[in-house]
Amino acid sequence: MIFSLVILFLISRLSRARNTRPDFYTGDRAFTAPQNGLALFGTFMMMTSFLTLGDGIASSGYDGVLPVAGFAVSWLTALLLVAEPLRNTGGYTLGDALSVRMRARPVRLAAAVVTLVVFVLYMTGQLVAASGLLALLIGLGGPAGQALIIATIIGVTLLTVYHAGMRGTTWTQIINALLLFTAVALLAYTLLSSHRLDASTLLGDATTRLPAPDLLESLSGLLTTVLGHAVLPYLFIRFLTVPDAKHARRSVSWAIWLTTPYSLLIVLIGLGAAALEKRAGEASPLVVALAEGPVLVFVASVVFTTIIGLTAGLALSAGASFTRDVYTNLIGRGPLDEAREIAVARRTVVVLCLLPAVGAIFLMRQNVTFMLSLGITLAASTILPTLLYAWFWRGFNTVGALWSMYGGAAVTTVLVVFSPAVSGDPLALLPGADFALFPWRHVGVVSIPLAFLLGYAGAKARGERDDVRFAEMEVRALTGAGAAKAVPRDPDDVVPWTGKLPWGRRRPLRPPGRGGS
């Protein structure tokens, strides 16, 4: 715990953000592809998701392996459809990307609304899940303990984002990636060595032990993951932190190279835990079953740092979205000067983080997994159709964008409210009530096509079309002509107490030696 705090402190001191837009929001767009790939992997494969996935495999065998595959395959959506055009057309937020060809005010507002809703849902869900897990791991029982953990997470997140902006956030995420990989490898090793299991028996052992969920329902959940993950706002802001689209492409491929072995290790651990349970005759949460003593402490600190990397990324993307899309465009009168915009962004991040923190403390004892899946479903059925139409369809327009964003969000929300995730199921948010008219808890297979349809209908309903601005969008999306470039580092930017450049000037962002673990 202290160890992770020290790392975070070092990062936030060594990589203070200057008060410029590119630096605060995107680390001057100067990260290399492997760095960004590590950071992508570090935010995306959170420790919490690792544990839930591992538990899923342990309790349901094959059906638990499929979500792991879903997460892995979701990188392909990022690789093929999202990363490159986004880097070529995006500024700092979804609103920036869309307003290249749409009327700025309405689409920025819609983009901000969608981003912030996803942010609140995702952040609250992650806070509850991570704090529950940490409470279990370090033995801080009781609501007070968990509330304390939530407060600590938010505090450290704010410290990171406030001081270090995207640069600090990215380094946190890179360290997460390394720690996460170490932790998983360590767990797999402990499992195989100390319990005398070997991989081939484990693989032979995997059988379904729970009644399989409905095929269409699980397919719906999987496809939502595959399509939605790539456009979660905290992930897609990462595609903007590299010098150009080729680096964005290569960073996603780096994330893929990391994800595949990592997923295989997770499967191994999950199956191993299942075998252990069978031997011991009782089920227990995955980590507790596997880790003892120092390993447990290590895993706990990894959980802590990874959740910081995730929340920092979420907070930064939401702060950017509010500041740029809502504050300066709707409330403010025209562009703020740069330093003031960043000051506003910093304060926005503080305010925005308090909301999910309070929410998480209230919902601590609830089952919030539905908030996470709702967040992904919302992203997949609002942001994805809007972006794809905006880049590739000449006939798209502002009205279509509004329909696919607000309409997609409305459809998703209504379906989820009437799904078994909210009522009529022992695991639902309101287990007592029953108004579940929709049969599945994963609504993506209906809401995503509907959102595409709404975007199409909206664009057709109002015949307006701006072919001139579409020319800009299309040429930029495919070639990167006129896309924002990396900011060269300022030679005067030195670490105060050493008088040296924090990293070499030719490769702008080498790790600041001490930051690694």
Binding site for other proteins (CB under 8 A): 62, 65-66, 68-70, 72-73, 75-76, 79-81, 91, 96, 99-100, 103-105, 203, 206, 212, 215, 218-219, 222-223, 226, 246, 249-250, 252-253, 256-257, 259-260, 263-264, 267, 328-329, 332-335, 392, 468-469, 471-472, 474-476, 478-482
CB 448, min distance to other proteins, A? 12
CB 264, min distance to other proteins, A? 6
Beta carbon nearer to other proteins, 256 or 342: 256
Q: Collect contacts of 213-217 with beta carbons under 8 A, ≥24 apart.
A: 213/63, 214/439, 214/440, 216/440, 216/445, 217/439, 217/440, 217/441, 217/442
Beta carbon nearer to other proteins, 203 or 433: 203
What CA–CA distance (Å, rounded) separates 265 from 131?
Answer: 24
Q: How far is CA 228 from CA 214, 236, 242, 384, 443, in A?
A: 21, 11, 22, 7, 12
What CA–CA distance (Å, rounded) separates 420 from 431?
Answer: 9
CB 208, min distance to other proteins, A? 8
Q: How many CA atoms lie within 13 A of 249 on its CB side?
A: 10
Beta carbon nearer to other proteins, 6 or 330: 330
CB within 8 Å of 183: residues ≥ 6 apart: 47, 298, 299, 302
Alpha helical stretches, state H, 206-292: 215-228, 233-236, 245-280, 286-290
Asked if residues 371 and 121 have their Cβ atoms less than 8 Å apart, the reply is yes
Beta carbon nearer to other proteins, 47 or 267: 267
Beta carbon nearer to other proteins, 13 or 469: 469
Beta carbon nearer to other proteins, 334 or 499: 334
Beta carbon nearer to other proteins, 157 or 328: 328
What CA–CA distance (Å, rounded) separates 1 from 387?
Answer: 40
CB 335, min distance to other proteins, A? 5
Beta-carbon neighbour count of residue 244 at 10 Å? 16
Radius of gyration of the chain (CA): 22
Task: Please provide residue 12's backbone torsions phi and psi, each rounded to the nearest 5 degrees.
Answer: -70, -25
Beta carbon nearer to other proteins, 3 or 257: 257
What CA–CA distance (Å, rounded) separates 317 from 165?
Answer: 10
Beta carbon nearer to other proteins, 92 or 162: 92
Task: Please provide residue 430's backbone torsions phi and psi, each rounded to the nearest 5 degrees.
Answer: -115, 85
Q: How far is CA 2 from CA 129, 182, 298, 299, in A?
A: 21, 18, 11, 13
Beta carbon nearer to other proteins, 10 or 399: 399
CB 52, min distance to other proteins, A? 17
What CA–CA distance (Å, rounded) separates 30 from 171?
Answer: 13
Asked if residues 509 and 503 have their Cβ atoms less than 8 Å apart, the reply is yes
What CA–CA distance (Å, rounded) separates 270 from 490?
Answer: 48
